[in-house]
A and B are shown apart, each in its own frame.
Chain A
């Protein structure tokens, strides 16, 4: 085949992928600025005939949406803080000791993926109920933190392992106390990895649906995904424009974080893939 033809075919293929991956998002954004009349009409176009930015204020004014966004933010920030705080020392140990603990640690990540959440959630619900932590943001925070922890640990210990141990040794030989070595040598090098781990935890919690669905009962406690789901639930027709606007708003934090840490995530995954 002539080289030219191959290239053309490749670009055509790439174009199809771009449309498949990008169009749905474009459509959601376009729907978020369309009027209800246009959204229910039979003529369908990507560009809105009139721009209705008030869909966004409508979505925010809608009962509960701001409150749920606040709840989501609270749970995501608290569980992220918790995850970083408790995974940092453990990740350091996991990365610096040899053998069994590492295997068990990474093994647990795989095992926890195999078991469907439904098997955890039944007893977890009973445990949290005796602690009066169902229908509570504190309970949800704990659950989110626990389920993000294994992956966060795995990510973070990878970043620690990437810091040459010689640096620590050299500092110890120079007579620096251990804590000082950790603070001045390890911590600054670890900071980017720590940020990536924190972002991952934040997004995982912000996006999480199932635990919130099971654990939260009163609308005052709903997180954003639950409120959005309730909008399309059995309670009659919803205005599609504000719904789309609300969905865009719910996706913004994760997309922003994701674009920021894109490179980091890819390189992290790559090293994982290569080792695996």
Chain B
């Protein structure tokens, strides 16, 4: 063991630094530095113009933001979107993972299908679903018509249906990763736990709540946290599908902030929005993960 440790430390500090620098440099210059400047910009009145002049204006942006009802509308939509997509992703992915773990045929076909949404460019996904949702010549309305249901719904153009419609697409895109992760978790659960439970006379439902769910607790907590962050920060999919319309019904916070920063050219104000969103998301996550952790201890 001692020898092993010595061998491991064969990589000297200097050597390690030399090998790490090529990776650290671009991350520092193009990722950490912009982040810090971004935080700073939130306290200025910077605008996206040639030869800009910045003034430090303290927390003015944040005070203004407090009274910006359009921003908070967009925030509310963002929360509805992120929570619905994350929960539906989890439920549907759990169903699929359980099916894929129960020795059915057609498994490999389903696995490939389940991964395709993940590989596709968001723009292509958006174009594809715009065709599915097409009011006049879309297969969705045609199918509803075939069943004798209302068949002229303008899914992405109607105030009532636009948000649910984009949520479905969000679920479609995000299901693969969640399914694969849950499936990996399922395959880690020792068989004898189920056998013992079955001997005690537990049915399938009881086994799921007593064995499966507790075993997957950690994985569920981490994948839902990640999904929530990704969904809340999502931009491309909805931007290409609706550009935030109709009438702002699908105006996710990132779309709103993007428009403020690059169309209205208020980058200081936009940065303040970004910062507020990060703080809220981190707080929500902290509360959620704490509750999960506490549950873990009690369990």
Contact = CB atoms under 8 A, between A and B. Distances in A.
The size class of the interface chain B forms with chain A is: 35 or more
Interface in B157-213: 172, 175, 177, 180-181, 184-185, 187-188
A138 interface: no
Nearest to A143: B30
A118 B137 contact: no
Interface in B243-299: 254, 257-258, 261-262, 267, 270-271, 273-275, 277-278, 281-282, 285
Contacts of A145: 26
Nearest to A13: B99
B112 A262 contact: yes
Contacts of B34: 120-124, 127
Nearest to A108: B27
A228 B125 CA distance: 11
Interface string B87-101: 000001001100100
A152 to B, nearest CB: 9
A10 B142 CA distance: 27
A209 B138 CA distance: 26
A86 B184 CA distance: 30
Interface string B67-84: 000000000000000000
Q: Is the interface of A mostly helix, strand, loop or mixed?
A: helix
Contacts of B27: 108, 146, 149-150
A126 B35 CA distance: 12
Nearest to A87: B23
Contacts of B128: 24-25, 27-28, 247
A216 interface: no
B115 interface: yes
A266 interface: yes
Nearest to A1: B204
A203 B22 contact: no
A39 interface: yes
A250 B121 contact: yes
A142 B25 CA distance: 12
A23 B138 CA distance: 12
Given A25-B128, A165-B7, A126 B22 contact: no
A11 to B, nearest CB: 7
Nearest to A17: B96
Nearest to A214: B262
Interface in A13-45: 13-14, 17-18, 20-25, 27-28, 31, 39-42, 44
Interface of B: 3-4, 7-11, 16, 19-20, 22-24, 26-27, 29-31, 33-35, 37-39, 41, 48, 92, 95-96, 99, 102, 104, 106, 109-124, 127-132, 136-139, 141-142, 172, 175, 177, 180-181, 184-185, 187-188, 218-219, 222-223, 226, 229-230, 232-233, 235-236, 239-240, 254, 257-258, 261-262, 267, 270-271, 273-275, 277-278, 281-282, 285
Given A119-B278, A123-B271, A145-B26, 18 more contacts: A18-B106, A44-B137, A44-B138, A90-B24, A93-B20, A97-B11, A113-B226, A115-B35, A117-B235, A118-B254, A121-B34, A122-B267, A126-B37, A127-B37, A147-B31, A265-B180, A266-B111, A269-B180
Interface of A: 7, 10-11, 13-14, 17-18, 20-25, 27-28, 31, 39-42, 44, 46, 85-87, 89-90, 92-94, 96-98, 101, 108, 112-127, 142-143, 145-147, 149-150, 153, 165, 168-169, 172, 178, 203, 206-207, 209-210, 213-214, 224-225, 228-229, 232, 240, 243-244, 247-248, 250-251, 254-255, 257-259, 262, 265-266, 269-270, 273-274, 276
Q: Closest 4 interchain pairs by CB?
A: A44-B142, A123-B37, A258-B119, A270-B184
